[in-house]
Homo-oligomer: A and B are copies of this chain.
Amino acid sequence: MLSLIIYDIPSDKLRSKVADICKDYGLDRIQFSAFLGEINHNRREELLQKIKREIGRKQANVQLFPICDKDVRLRQIVVVNESSERTDKSDGK
C-alpha cells in the first residue's frame, strides 16, 4: 500500500538518517521532510522500527499515513520553482 511519511526532526544528522532509511525502503522524496511510496505491511512495520531505533531519545515527530488509491487520485500539488521564473535575466533583476 502507498504510504506517506512526514517528519519534524530538529537534528540535521538524525533527519538525514531517517531520510536514508526511507530511501532504503524504496520511498520517493516528495518534499524535504516527506516521502511517499509503495510498501507492504511487513516492510512498513520494519521501516518504522528502524526509524524508532534511530530516533532513540532524540527529539522527533514522525507520522505515517497509508494512502489508498482513491485518496492518491485526489491528491493536489502546487509547485512553484522560483528559479524557473528567473531564467529571463533581461528584466534587470
B8 near A65 with CB under 8 A, answer no
Q: What's the number of copies of this chain in the assembled complex?
A: 2
A65 near B68 with CB under 8 A, answer no
Contact residue among B8, B72, B78 (Cβ-Cβ distance under 8 Å from A61): B78
A65 near B71 with CB under 8 A, answer yes
Is A85 interfacial (CB-CB < 8 Å)? yes
Total interface residues on A, CB under 8 Å, equals 40
Considering only residues 24-63 of chain A, those with a C-beta below 8 Å from chain B are 30-34, 48, 51-52, 55-63
- What is the bound-complex CA distance between A75 and B4, given in angstroms? 10
Assuming the contacts A31-B6, A65-B71, A71-B65, asked whether A80 and B51 have C-beta atoms less than 8 A apart, the reply is no
A71 near B68 with CB under 8 A, answer yes
B61 near A79 with CB under 8 A, answer yes
- What is the bound-complex CA distance between A56 and B85, given in angstroms? 11
- What is the bound-complex CA distance between A68 and B59, given in angstroms? 29
